[in-house]
A and B are shown apart, each in its own frame.
Chain A
């Protein structure tokens, strides 16, 4: 067991933290992810199951809800669910068991790298990264967009807490882009 030690998306043993201009950029490795897509004709059941699992009404297009688990809308009848990895590494399995044949659940734990940005001038950083109108966001928005040619999800918890999910293999490039934008904007 001990020889199967995980590394972070950036290649370290522990998450990287950078701070600049009042914004903290944290590599978050403790996130289990599962995509949850309703099966054709079972949408209602699939949604009920998922709503129960997260303890909240489901997020609509462009939205995220934060409940027992966090869940954001990915596409029609499809959500991404996030939970702490240390307690829910088998999140996809758990959700799949709950959904039965009503939803297709796919493990996405390591498909993404996750960076959390906290600070009070995030809109200035993000306007150098992507066309997401962060200045108009108040919290509860989530969308896929393109950052530095990479397809990423931008998820806004509140105006001072924004998460970026990007392709794990490009974690280094994405981290570089985020840090570069912080230094340019702040």
Chain B
């Protein structure tokens, strides 16, 4: 596959390592009352969609950026690639 890196342009997916669902960005609040069950949900419960999936890729043999790649699991079509740091900030991980 080719991942169109937002900074470096198209790169072979062989340069990347894969982590999984981009929902991993949304780490729960450790001080929440039900923190253990929230973390269990966060760590173990994943959607497994046949279709569009947002997932985390690490450009290990590249610029060491974590990326959020929106990819169809059935066709491998990639419709969006963003720096995970930007996504994390946008989605409320800023402190």
Q: Do chains A and B touch in the complex (CB under 8 A)?
A: yes
A146 contacts chain B at the CB level, 8 A cutoff = yes
A15 contacts chain B at the CB level, 8 A cutoff = no
Nearest B residue to A152 by beta-carbon distance?
Answer: B61
> Given the known A-B contacts A76-B83, A145-B15, A146-B15, are A61 and B8 also in contact in the complex, defined by CB atoms under 8 Å?
yes
Q: Bound state CA distance, A111 and B63, in angstroms?
A: 17
Q: Which of B68-94 contact A (CB under 8 A)?
A: 83, 85
A131 touches B12 (CB 8 A): yes
Q: How many chain-B residues does the 8 Å CB contact rule pick out?
A: 15
B63 touches A76 (CB 8 A): yes
B33 contacts chain A at the CB level, 8 A cutoff = no
A95 contacts chain B at the CB level, 8 A cutoff = no
B20 contacts chain A at the CB level, 8 A cutoff = no
A132 to chain B, nearest CB (A): 10
Q: Bound state CA distance, A146 and B12, in angstroms?
A: 11
Q: How many chain-A residues does the 8 Å CB contact rule pick out?
A: 12
CB neighbours (8 Å) of A39 from chain B are none
A144 contacts chain B at the CB level, 8 A cutoff = yes
A76 touches B65 (CB 8 A): yes
CB neighbours (8 Å) of A146 from chain B are 14-15, 61
CB neighbours (8 Å) of B14 from chain A are 131, 146
- Kindly identify which residue among B7, B60, B85 contacts A61, using a CB–CB cutoff of 8 Å: B7
B65 touches A75 (CB 8 A): yes
Q: Bound state CA distance, A151 and B58, in angstroms?
A: 14
CB neighbours (8 Å) of A144 from chain B are 61-63
CB neighbours (8 Å) of A73 from chain B are 63
B63 touches A145 (CB 8 A): no
B29 to chain A, nearest CB (A): 23
A103 contacts chain B at the CB level, 8 A cutoff = no
A62 contacts chain B at the CB level, 8 A cutoff = yes
Nearest A residue to B63 by beta-carbon distance?
Answer: A75
Q: Bound state CA distance, A182 and B49, in angstroms?
A: 46
Q: Bound state CA distance, A131 and B15, in angstroms?
A: 10
Q: B-side interface residues toward A, CB under 8 Å?
A: 7-9, 11-12, 14-15, 60-65, 83, 85
- Top 9 closest pairs, chain A to chain B, by CB: A75-B63, A61-B7, A146-B61, A131-B12, A75-B64, A151-B61, A62-B8, A144-B62, A61-B8
